[in-house]
Amino acid sequence: MNKKMMTKVVCGALMATSLASCATSKQSVTLADLQGEWDIIELQGHAVVPAQSQPFPYIGFGADGQVHGNAGCNRITGSVDPKAKPGTIDLSQLGSTMMMCPNMEVEREVFAALASVTRYRYLSTNQMALCGKGKKPIVVLQRRK
């Protein structure tokens, strides 16, 4: 990812954080709203910066509840309940490949954050907040282009 793109991602994440709250929203979202692939741009209020030569983490959701992606080193795999109440999601049982990379910090942060997600909501047309028990997003996602 080049420096210009990284700056855009960081600025977008900071803007989303300043506007974001995971409090109940009048706008109901469903698993269909999550379909597709999303870059993981923020974890616990901090912009994600992948280690040199490692991919940017992302997560993808299928209509059937299948989950895939990359946590920065290893591939993410698993599923969610496609019949869950709209706006709720359990990502605590995701699996991954078991490769070792030179820097596993982002990988550990991604899986720790995803494990505590219980709900989701829109931040904007192209951004989604994954939330836990608190009001602030645990993970901020931006739709991949």
- Model confidence pLDDT, tens digit, residues 31-50: 999 999 999 999 999 999 99
Q: What is the pLDDT of residue 83?
A: 92
* pTM, entire model: 0.83
- Model confidence pLDDT, tens digit, residues 80-133: 999 999 999 999 999 999 999 999 999 999 999 999 999 999 999 999 999 999
- Model confidence pLDDT, tens digit, residues 3-16: 445 544 544 544 54
Backbone angles phi, psi at 66, to 5 degrees: -70, 140
Q: What is the pLDDT of residue 7?
A: 45
Decide if pLDDT at 17 tops 80: no
Strands 66-70 and 75-79: antiparallel
Kindly list the structural domains of the chain, giving each domain's residue range(s) and its CATH number in brackets, ordered by start.
Answer: 3-143 (2.40.128.270)
82 in Cβ contact with 94 (< 8 Å): no
3-state helix vs strand vs coil in the chain, percent to 5: 20, 30, 45
143, 97, 113, 96: which is closest to 46 by C-alpha? 113
